[in-house]
Chain A
Amino acid sequence: MKKKYSIASIVKNSLSDNENWGKMWRNPNPKKHYDIIIVGGGGHGLGTAYYLAKHHGIKNIAVIEKGWLGSGNTGRNTTIIRSNYLWDESAYLYDHAVKLWENLSEDLNYNMMFSQRGVLNLAHNEHDIKEIKRRVSANRLNGLDTMWLDKNEVKDLVPIMNTDNLRYPVLGAAYQPRGGVARHDAVAWGYAMRADELGVDIIQNCEVKGIKTDNYKVEGVETTKGFIKSSKIGVVASGHTSVLAATAGVRLPLQSRPLQALVSEPIKPVINTVVMSNAVHAYVSQSDKGELVIGAGTDGYNSFTQRGGYDVIEETVRAIVELYPIFGKMKMLRQWGGIVDICPDASPIISKCDVEGLYFNCGWGTGGFKATPGSANVFAHTIAKDEPHKINAPFALSRFSDGRLIDEHGAAAVAH
């Protein structure tokens, strides 16, 4: 294992025009029965299968994906990674993920292109300053590397930014140097390859049509490739989670909305960090190809169409152009939408439910990518042990009846 990629293998395969690398994972037909079925072949789902096989020694696992691996929000996000959330519970969860990110390329022997280029959260008014400084202080108490930068320090980091001559001037920012970006497809592919090596069946182009239960106990899933039996099912289907939950008679406090992103034509390096602004709603980073990766907001209504409205993009681009006047004449190459599942308190649900053997990892809303390894890791623990890891215990479904909400509206990437 893990011998697939080395300098020797690169040299060897280059001699045969890279034609003989082989498939990264098998393409098996589903078996009749699995110990655990994971619904959703994105980063979170594949990661869950990987950690279940690696840390918990369970081998008879299937990951069932409606399309191709990473075809949902794993391949649609703006790849920002950070952990500067306000509350303790969130800081532990998201920083658990950042710590795993830091070693993920090595762990999977697959290049995640994880680049800790730092993340800035801009403040544009007095309220922003107070809110962000409070968050910086909370972060520091939790051992995170967040710091407050004044306007001049922000300008030093991002010289192209227009800090003064605009309607909402830049007054400062929170900065987390350990934050950054990673290659989104690599996350899905890396986890898929290593999970497959450990015996996990990855079943693509197979839609789960419903979850079959009997007397509050799961029996299996009905799919386009027939019924598959299992006594434990983990649902990690982002925007479609509530649709699947409904087939098992479970209601979740989720609303699905389109979230859009866009990329520009590639240009020479101009911005070497990630800059986010909640107040004017603009966030931008530059990919290794040179494209600006721009995240827009969610549409103001529920929808499952992976498009979104133009007014949302217009608003974001307007803010980007004002913050970075030199981008004013750039062309945007592509725009797309993904369906995100938004929770009332802007925090995820990683939890058991009333149905025995049914587990949910959902509600990541607009910012699930950053948490992929951490989320997968604690979700695997939850499924294997049938009880939450101490990191995800506060993210239980029961918080919507006992009132222990984890309100991260202020720290979530997109105001919603």
Chain B
Amino acid sequence: MILIKCPYCGERDQSEFANGGEAHVVRPQNPENLSDKDWGEYVFFRNNPKGIFYERWVHSHGCKKWFNVVRNTSTDQILKVYKVNEKRPDLTEFENTLRSPSGEPSVGSGNFAVKK
């Protein structure tokens, strides 16, 4: 269970919110000029990192406002919450503590977050 700090209402349980997937995905300005592959890329392909992830949330059972969150998907730790009109925070702001590309200890597939 995650606590999310809505920038307008404060800290609330995650079940009050709905996730809107990856943030900062920009709709192409010239869809008529794109190849099928590029258009498919925009419609269906999203980043899916094990680690730092920029995502959108909406406080659907509260103020109903959208905002952005930076979260570590390997631990569910929320690193930053910011409003949609604010600048995307730089990746270097967050210390990436992942030990391997998949984010887990080199031996065993136990849960990194729980083991820690």
Known: A303-B76, A309-B15, A311-B1. A71 touches B101 (CB 8 A): no
Q: Which of B41, B73, B110 has most A Cβ within 10 Å?
A: B73
Distance between Cα atoms of A139 and B108 in the complex (Å):
42
In the complex, chain B residues whose CB is within 8 Å of the CB of A71 = 109
> Of B44, B73, B108, which contacts A253 at CB under 8 A?
B44
Interface flag for B10 (CB, 8 Å) = no
Interface flag for B114 (CB, 8 Å) = yes
Distance between Cα atoms of A254 and B47 in the complex (Å):
8
Interface flag for A240 (CB, 8 Å) = yes
In the complex, chain B residues whose CB is within 8 Å of the CB of A240 = 50, 102
Known: A254-B48, A310-B1, A311-B15. A305 touches B75 (CB 8 A): yes
In the complex, chain B residues whose CB is within 8 Å of the CB of A251 = 41, 45
Measured between C-beta atoms, what is the minimum distance from A319 to chain B in Å? 16
> Of B41, B48, B109, which contacts A72 at CB under 8 A?
B109
Contact assessment for A243 and B49 in the assembled complex, using a CB-CB cutoff below 8 Å: yes
Known: A66-B104, A311-B1. A305 touches B21 (CB 8 A): no
Contact assessment for A66 and B111 in the assembled complex, using a CB-CB cutoff below 8 Å: no
Type the 1/0 row for A280-307, where 1 means its CB is closer than 8 Å to any CB of B: 0000000000000000000011111111
Distance between Cα atoms of A205 and B104 in the complex (Å):
12
Nearest residue (CB) in A for B103 is A304
Contact assessment for A344 and B101 in the assembled complex, using a CB-CB cutoff below 8 Å: no
Interface flag for A210 (CB, 8 Å) = yes
Nearest residue (CB) in B for A258 is B76
Contact assessment for A207 and B19 in the assembled complex, using a CB-CB cutoff below 8 Å: no
Contact assessment for B108 and A67 in the assembled complex, using a CB-CB cutoff below 8 Å: yes
Q: What interface size band does chain B fall in?
A: 35 or more
Contact assessment for B15 and A242 in the assembled complex, using a CB-CB cutoff below 8 Å: no
Interface flag for A400 (CB, 8 Å) = yes
Contact assessment for B109 and A242 in the assembled complex, using a CB-CB cutoff below 8 Å: no
Distance between Cα atoms of A66 and B15 in the complex (Å):
33
Interface of A is mostly: loop
Interface flag for A156 (CB, 8 Å) = no
Interface flag for B106 (CB, 8 Å) = yes
In the complex, chain A residues whose CB is within 8 Å of the CB of B102 = 66, 207, 209, 240, 243-244
Type the 1/0 row for B48-70, where 1 means its CB is closer than 8 Å to any CB of A: 11100101000000000000000
Nearest residue (CB) in A for B101 is A209
Contact assessment for A255 and B21 in the assembled complex, using a CB-CB cutoff below 8 Å: yes
Contact assessment for B113 and A205 in the assembled complex, using a CB-CB cutoff below 8 Å: no
Nearest residue (CB) in B for A253 is B44
Contact assessment for B74 and A304 in the assembled complex, using a CB-CB cutoff below 8 Å: yes
Q: Which of B18, B48, B53, B101 has most A Cβ within 10 Å?
A: B48
> Of B14, B18, B35, B43, which contacts A309 at CB under 8 A?
B14
Interface flag for A126 (CB, 8 Å) = no
Interface flag for A402 (CB, 8 Å) = yes
Contact assessment for B44 and A400 in the assembled complex, using a CB-CB cutoff below 8 Å: yes
Interface flag for A224 (CB, 8 Å) = yes
Known: A66-B109, A309-B14. A303 touches B73 (CB 8 A): yes
> Of A242, A401, A403, which contacts B48 at CB under 8 A?
A242
Nearest residue (CB) in A for B77 is A305
Interface flag for A247 (CB, 8 Å) = yes
Query: Quick one: which of B58-116 are within 8 Å of A by CB?
Result: 73-76, 100-104, 106-114
Known: A66-B104, A224-B106, A255-B21. A309 touches B45 (CB 8 A): no
Q: Which of A66, A301, A303, A306 has most B Cβ within 10 Å?
A: A301
In the complex, chain A residues whose CB is within 8 Å of the CB of B27 = none
Interface flag for A138 (CB, 8 Å) = no
Interface flag for A256 (CB, 8 Å) = yes
Query: Quick one: which of A49-75 are within 8 Å of B by CB?
Result: 66-68, 71-72
Q: Could you give 7 example pairs across A and B, Cβ below 8 Å?
A: A66-B109, A224-B100, A224-B107, A300-B19, A302-B48, A305-B112, A401-B37
List of 4 A-B pairs having minimum Cβ-Cβ separation, nearest first: A67-B109, A401-B40, A301-B19, A253-B44
Enumerate chain B interface residues (CB-CB to A < 8 A).
Answer: 1-2, 13-15, 18-19, 21, 35-37, 39-41, 43-46, 48-50, 53, 55, 73-76, 100-104, 106-114
Given contacts A205-B108, A253-B44, A302-B53, 15 further A-B contacts (CB under 8 A): A68-B109, A205-B107, A207-B106, A209-B101, A209-B102, A224-B107, A247-B101, A251-B45, A301-B55, A302-B21, A305-B114, A309-B2, A344-B44, A401-B35, A402-B36
